[in-house]
Structure 1
Amino acid sequence: MKVLFLLSIIFFSTYSGAVVKRHDVPPENYVLDKIPEYLIDMPHEGHGVLINSQWVLTVAHTIFYDYVGKDLVVGSKAYEIESVHIHPDYSAPNKGLLKGDLAPLMRFFKSRSDIALIKLTSTVSGVEPINIYSGKSEKDKTITVYGRGATGNGLTGEDPSTKSLRVMNQFQNIIESAEGNWLAFKFDEPESALSLEGMHGSGDSGGASVIFQEGIPFLVGLSSWQLGHGDISTFKGGLYGTTAYQVRVSNYHDWILGVLGS
């Protein structure tokens, strides 16, 4: 994906962000037995979400090059990509931002629109797209987030070497901020955490953040980056206390409908 995340997310954000877990909960508790079919793996890293029978939503930094003609597997079938639509307010960071103090890079991440739409050449059959949450009341809601990137725990942070395992995990968190382009939540320590509290990691970029209303899932966010401080060379993703940012899908509702309509 390119970002998920800040460095990890970051970089991993930039160049890319499975899920970073509580250290006091068995890791297998986070493993997803049945994967929602609207979750899609991108060609190299990261995820997308089926929001329409012919359209996939993802974060823009998962698009490494022209994906037209490549396949995405939805459910059990492969579908060819017809076109990719990256938000006009998205850009990749220049090399100068990828060294030294993290503050300029963090400001850059927050200022851009990390979102893209992918159109398939044919309609998907047998898989129900997820509904998009169109309200503005995300704050304080409990979200379930999916990803199969790097894993680890809040004490030691994420371990990039685990990204190749490609195990689908889920975690939960509570949205603390819903402003402008972004949803934000913090990875709390066990004494104030949810039973499956977690954080996205490198390789999780574009993973769905979902709320359930009367048992029906609604897409509210896409994993994008983690907030970092200090020098980029010492950044460690996924530690307790870290704040994560996700693309606030409701903020792009009109843009999404405009692209689909075109």
Structure 2
Amino acid sequence: MKVLFILSIIFFSTCSNAVVKRHDVPAKNYLLAEAPEYLIDMPHEGHGVLISPQWILTVAHTIFYDYSGKKIKVGSKNVEIEKVHIHPGYIEADKTLFKGDAAPLMNFLRSRSDIALVKLSTPVKDLKPIDIYSNSNELGQEITVYGRGATGNGKTGENTETKPLRELNHFKNIVEATDDKWLSFKFDEAQKALPLEGIHGSGDSGGPSVIFDNGTPYLVGLSSWQIWQGDLALFKGGLYGTTAYQVRVSNYRDWIVSVVGS
């Protein structure tokens, strides 16, 4: 697991995503002074989403070991983790996939179910969880994505040296494709881009993407990975034209209900 964690620092900026911004929009426009109540920071890196008073939904690759008994900050309180449930379709990547041509790793990431549930020892009563989007019409819709990881811009890509700053940013994008596991979107430039167009970068795995309906947010995705072609040694996250992938939460509704209950 330690080897995979080190590799994740090197490469999983494709899988551990934060906010990379437009180069022609002031960076301050992406900053947020206050986090949504449902955004939870995971113990070491990445985020989770409070979906009920006792349950956090995240991507499985943010779980570096058995977190049972570990404290996690939820709102203003440190709450003990009772148990972690990792989806049976999640498989850890073999370290050989992180070398050479990216295609085998990309196919591997696309094939697995990168999702997990974290049960808290006691329910949280002072925060409002987010509801999961109940429809399957995400295609073409605008999403808002949150993260505290590395920042940068689409021309130069992400700057991993900014990750320790833990600044809260958000961006917007349009869901361009959906399948049985993933929502995806491209980081567009200039006239094709939204005013706060962006993509996730290193340090924000599990961060929520939401659709607002009459001002109410609904959870549709969890930041997971970015596509890359060619030699992995040349990987640079967050460049214009990059396609990002998020766990399609609606696809996992039955599994979530089977673990959490109704």
How high is the TM-score relative to the length of structure 1? 0.95
Contact 1:62 1:206 in 2 (8 A): yes
The answer (yes or no) to whether the contact 1:13–1:61 under 8 Å persists in 2 is no
Query: Counterpart in 2 of 1:188?
Result: 188
> In the alignment, is residue 99 of structure 1 matched against residue 99 of structure 2?
yes
Show the counterpart of 1:27. Answer: 27
- Could you say which residue in structure 2 is the equivalent of 1:11? 12
Residue 70 in 1 paired to residue 70 in 2? yes
Give how far 1:71 is off.
Answer: 1.4
Compute the displacement of 1:261 (Å): 2.4
Whether 1:253 and 2:226 are equivalent positions in the alignment is no
Name the residue aligned to 1:116.
Answer: 116
Write the distance in 1 (CA, Å) between the matches of 2:12 and 2:201: 11
Deviation (angstroms), 1:7:
7.0
Kept in 1, the 8 Å contact 2:13–2:237? The answer is: no
* SS of 2:13 mapped into structure 1: helix
Structure 1, unpaired ranges of 5+: none
Report the Cα distance in structure 2 between the residues aligned to 1:13 and 1:141, rounded to whole angstroms: 23
Q: Unpaired runs of 5+ in structure 2? A: none
The CA deviation string for residues 107-158 of structure 1, in whole angstroms up to 9 with x for no partner, is 0000000000000000001101000012110000000000001110000000
SS in 2 for 1:40: strand
Task: Using the TM superposition, give the Cα deviation of residue 9 of structure 1 relative to its aligned residue in structure 2, in angstroms.
Answer: 8.9
CA contact 1:7–1:225 (8 Å) conserved in 2: no
Provide the TM-score with structure 2 as the length reference.
0.95
Q: Secondary structure at the match of 1:254?
A: helix
Quote how far apart the aligned CAs of 1:18 are: 3.3
* Contact 1:113–1:181 (CA under 8 A) maintained in structure 2: yes
Runs of 4+ in structure 1 displaced over 2 angstroms? 6-14
Q: Secondary structure at the match of 1:36?
A: coil
Q: SS at 1:233's partner residue?
A: helix
The DSSP-based 3-state class of the residue aligned with 2:252 is helix
Q: Secondary structure at the match of 1:12?
A: coil
8 Å contact kept, 2:14–2:227: no
Does structure 2 conserve the Cα–Cα contact (< 8 Å) formed by 1:22 and 1:154? yes
Contact between 1:19 and 1:171, CA under 8 Å: does it hold in 2? yes
Aligned to 2:80: 80
Distance 2:261 2:207 in 1: 24
Work out the CA distance in 2 between the residues paired with 1:7 and 1:138. Answer: 29
Q: Deviations over 1:14-67 (max 9, x none)?
A: 6x5231000001101000122111100000000000001100000000000111
Give the 3 Å change call, closer, same or farther, for CA 164–154 of structure 1 in structure 2. Answer: same
**CA positional deviation for 1:95:** 1.2
Name the amino acid aligned to 2:75: G
How far apart, CA to CA, are the structure 1 residues paired with 2:10 and 2:34? 26
Partner of 1:159: 159
Count the aligned residue pairs.
258
